[in-house]
A and B are shown apart, each in its own frame.
Chain A
Amino acid sequence: MSTPRTYQTEAIVIKKTKLKEADRILTLYTPHLGKIQAVARGVRRPRSKLSGHLELITHSLVSLARGRNLDTVTGGQTITSFLTVKNDLWLTSCALYVTELVNQFTADHIENEGLFRLLLETMKQLCQAGDKELTLRYFELHLLHKVGYQPQLRKCVACRAQLKPTTNSFSPNLGGMLCPDCSPNQPTSYPVSVNAQKVLRLFQNSDDSVIDRLKIDAGLSREIESVMSRYIQYLLEREVKSAAWLDALREETRRATAG
């Protein structure tokens, strides 16, 4: 049996690259085909019927035709446009960070439906009211779980002892927490407060309704952000580009509210 020449899939556009004058290469995240790249012709022209349906952070039903190297997009119909996100600078930046992480942590053509659902749910969360920092932390933890890097937060990763409610350390290279006895042997580990450990463990073991129920102060939020970003940077062996932009926006907001 030969594979059909054309196919259709639900997808979220997670990256786009310019190709020649009017074309783009799109990176699509799909429920059953994983991450795929496809050429979208003419989408940078104003008359293009497809461009709005294939913009970044858009959930669409996409039709594709198989090609020798890359498949070609032949149709697109928006399912969810996430307009609330697109109308807001901070939310757009959060969404770009989320798509960048999905892109960095995945390889082409590996099905991961759970990750697709997580991505979609995170976009929907971003459209709702509430603390978006927590939405991002929840996403990061569950993304790591879905790509096989779930951090160990209950037991010491060196001596396997149950962690006590005290300041323990996180070791990126061992992928989890260390008890106070083991942490001196791991110079790359960094301390994590009791409250930060509680929030991380709660996120790891809950569904996303927990995000709305939780209220944490700015200091704790920053600590958790830093714990996660150091681990993610270690795993990717590079900076997450959009994280620098998020930091710049956070900093500007802090300065604006302070003065």
Chain B
Amino acid sequence: MNDNLTPDKDAINQLIHEFNKLPGIGPKSAQRVTYFLMRASEEEARLLAEAIFSLKQNIRLCSVCCNVTESDPCPTCRNDGRERSQICIVEQPQDILALEHTGIYKGLYHVLHGAISPTEGVGADDVRIRELLDRLQDDSVKEVILATNTTLEGEQTALYLNRLIAPLGIRVTRLARGLPFGTELEYADDVTLTRAIEGRQEF
């Protein structure tokens, strides 16, 4: 029997189980969130459930930049204030959030949704490179900024994109790869240090 005082044990366990799958939420946090929701009003619970559901219902990929969006084209691609001659290439939608947070970049974006990873069987056709090449067909794009991760896969993807795009006569740049803010020099690895020295600038 199930009433408000003795809720169904399975419902609790199932919700804990579901929360536990989320990034950054271990079993303890999953329990805490579940018991918090059990005490919350029905209205609050409904709003949360609807928000999650509408995420899946309304979110799609922008037909221009492949970012996740509720409207197509996405607000960035529709924004006339953005510099349309620059496209910044990122691996994931979250990377755009990080770059936008700086407020320094005014151009457009393109989301690959991954990086080339041969040993995982992820080739050029498994990330959104074809969509990017389609965008470069017209002459408005003057610069492509490669902002893939500085992991081996991100670097490899950048090298591959450079090989495809440079022959089109478009300027290809790569985000500077040097020492992250707040690091101590002695712990830096050889690759980072070599690139930091090569990429040094006038003070």
Contact = CB atoms under 8 A, between A and B. Distances in A.
B159 A88 contact: yes
B169 interface: no
Interface in B93-124: 116, 118-121, 123-124
Contact of B123 (A47, A81, A244): A244
Interface of A: 15, 20-21, 46-47, 49, 51-53, 55-58, 78, 81, 83, 86-89, 92-93, 96-97, 99-100, 103, 241-242, 244-246, 248
B118 A241 contact: yes
A47 B182 contact: yes
A56 B151 CA distance: 8
26 contacts: A20-B24, A21-B24, A46-B180, A52-B192, A55-B189, A57-B152, A78-B191, A81-B189, A81-B194, A83-B190, A83-B191, A83-B194, A89-B156, A96-B118, A96-B119, A96-B152, A100-B119, A103-B119, A241-B118, A241-B120, A242-B118, A244-B118, A245-B116, A245-B118, A245-B123, A246-B118
Interface of B: 23-24, 116, 118-121, 123-124, 151-152, 155-156, 159-160, 163, 180, 182-184, 187-192, 194
A87 B152 CA distance: 10
Given A47-B183, A52-B188, A89 B159 contact: yes
Dominant secondary structure of chain B at its interface with chain A: helix
Given A20-B23, A52-B189, A78-B190, A99 B159 contact: no
B177 to A, nearest CB: 10
Nearest to A51: B189
A90 to B, nearest CB: 9
Contacts of B189: 51-53, 55, 58, 78, 81
A242 B190 contact: no
Contacts of A245: 116, 118, 123
Contacts of B188: 52
B67 to A, nearest CB: 21
B159 A92 contact: yes
Given A49-B187, A81-B189, A248-B124, A15 B155 contact: no
